[in-house]
Amino acid sequence: MRTAPRFISFLVPLLVTCFIAAAPQLAGAQPKARFAPEISNFEVDQSDQLVPGSDIDFTLEGTPGGRASVRLSGVNKNIVLREVESGVYEGSYTLSRRDKLGPQPSARATLRVRGGFTVATQALAGSPPPVVTQPRPPVPAPLAIERFIVTPVARIEPGAELRFAVIGTPGARASVTIDGVVRDVAMQEVRPGRYEGAYTIRRNDNFPPSLNIVASLEANDQAIRSRLNQALLVDARPPTIRNLAPQNNETVTAGPVSVSVTFDDSGGVGVDPKSVKIVISGQDVTRNASITPQFLTWRGDLRPGTHQVEVTAADIAGNAVRQTWVFHLASPQSPPPVAVLPLQITSHANNAQVSSGAIEVRGRTAPDAKVDVQVQVVASLAGIFGINQQVLSQTLRADAAGNFVFSFQSQVPVPGARYEATITATKGELSRETRLVLFQQR
């Protein structure tokens, strides 16, 4: 029975010795406590409503020497705050259209110092408007005007109603402007994409020489305009063919011949160049001619003798015209006509284009011959009415070498206007006439 006490008396000192030896190691195995930073204040400064482009400012106060940042709900970006003074951190963020804050937005601040961190949350005032939370609306399609037309009238006079129509993008605001007469006449959308409007001509209306009529469509901060390229008058009259060269029954000298005419469709919609055809002595020479809505010119060689010319044309409305005449081409061996007064224009070719301003014409005839000059200007103004007025009537004398010069200028220089000059030289009993046609540049 004495064996147990002896064993216990031996074991107790041994356990005490082992515990004392192991105590420092057990104490060293315990984890160290982390540093716990503090946030004493977190402020959010914002506008009344959170809309794209708004700035949100953040101020955080807490433990100095740390790293502070903010996350906004619905914004996939870490907003870094800068320590502007000891323990005071500041930063800001500008909302973009990609941000979706949600119905109850909030800001969550985090402060990290020496391995420890702490957070603070602040609710944001004002829910974002639908434009932030809803998908972006589709970009509107560009405006377009496919057609701009008018119903022609018989005469431009007080009481006549001009009815316009525009075919284009539906759902827009449409208007028509007649420069110098009326602006922004409203047009109604009678069916999707078709707008109609009317203007009644007033007694005091003065339609300008260069008439410009424009339709406008406006929608979604866009605007588009289109100019009217149609005559206002009903075109039931065919054009006329004028200024035949060579003239009917005229005899011209041997050599290359120039055959030309001018087209006059005053008050109409103009000659269609594709409709013009010229036949000389039964041969179609259209493909070798120069053709515009204003004139036709053919140059080439022909046999001596009598030649018949036939010119046909039609305006854009389909009104047709036909003109025939003859001229005579002298043989190279034929003696020159007796007592013929020379007369030649040296400065311009027939049907040439001239610039605006004074137009100078030079010519040659017999020395000291009397030269009479008459110049008319003919122009059609936007298919409404025409100008036909004399711009020069002058008598002059050729110098000792037979040279002469004259100049003229229209008071209303209309692009495309035609100048018709008739020059007559006289000396003694001899007289000769020639014509020159010039066009104002467009």
Query: Which domains does the chain show, CATH number per domain?
Result: 39-133 (2.60.40.1930), 145-227 (2.60.40.10), 240-329 (2.60.40.1220), 343-440 (2.60.40.10)
What is the model's pLDDT at position 107? 87
Q: What whole-number distance in Å separates Cα of residue 3 and Cα of residue 1? A: 6
Summary mean pLDDT of the chain: 83
pLDDT higher than 50, residue 16: no
Q: What whole-number distance in Å separates Cα of residue 279 and Cα of residue 276? A: 10
Higher pLDDT, 194 or 34: 194
What is the model's pLDDT at position 124? 81
End-to-end Cα distance, the chain: 141
SS3 call for 273: helix
Tell me if 89 sits within 8 A of 71, measured CB to CB: no
Q: What whole-number distance in Å separates Cα of residue 424 and Cα of residue 436? A: 11
Quick: pLDDT tens for 418-435: 899 999 999 988 898 988
Q: What whole-number distance in Å separates Cα of residue 71 and Cα of residue 366? A: 101
* Residue 136 CB neighbour total at 10 angstroms: 8
pLDDT higher than 60, residue 135: no
Which of these ranges, 196-200, 296-300, 345-349, has the smallest mean pLDDT? 345-349
Q: What integer is the mean pLDDT of 111-134?
A: 71
Any idea what the Cα angle at residue 254 is, between residues 250 and 257, rounded to 5°? 70
What is the model's pLDDT at position 190? 93
- 14's tokens: 């041994």
What is the model's pLDDT at position 23? 46
pLDDT higher than 80, residue 25: no
What is the model's pLDDT at position 20? 47
73 closest CA partner among 132, 115, 117: 132
What is the model's pLDDT at position 318? 81
Which of these ranges, 161-165, 270-274, 404-408, has the smallest mean pLDDT? 270-274
The DSSP call for residue 377 is E
What is the model's pLDDT at position 210? 60
CA distances from 90 to 38, 87, 109, 115, 249 (A): 16, 10, 11, 21, 101
Q: What integer is the mean pLDDT of 65-74?
A: 89
CA distances from 233 to 100, 165, 236, 267, 272 (A): 61, 16, 9, 7, 17
Q: What integer is the mean pLDDT of 42-59?
A: 83
The DSSP call for residue 315 is B
What is the model's pLDDT at position 288? 93
Which of these ranges, 1-15, 76-90, 151-165, 415-429, has the smallest mean pLDDT? 1-15
pLDDT higher than 70, residue 259: yes
What is the model's pLDDT at position 212? 87
* Residue 233 CB neighbour total at 10 angstroms: 18
Which of these ranges, 49-58, 282-291, 359-368, 417-426, has the smallest mean pLDDT? 49-58
Q: What integer is the mean pLDDT of 129-143?
A: 59
Q: What whole-number distance in Å separates Cα of residue 282 and Cα of residue 297? A: 17
pLDDT tier at 349 (50, 70, 90 boundaries)?
Answer: confident
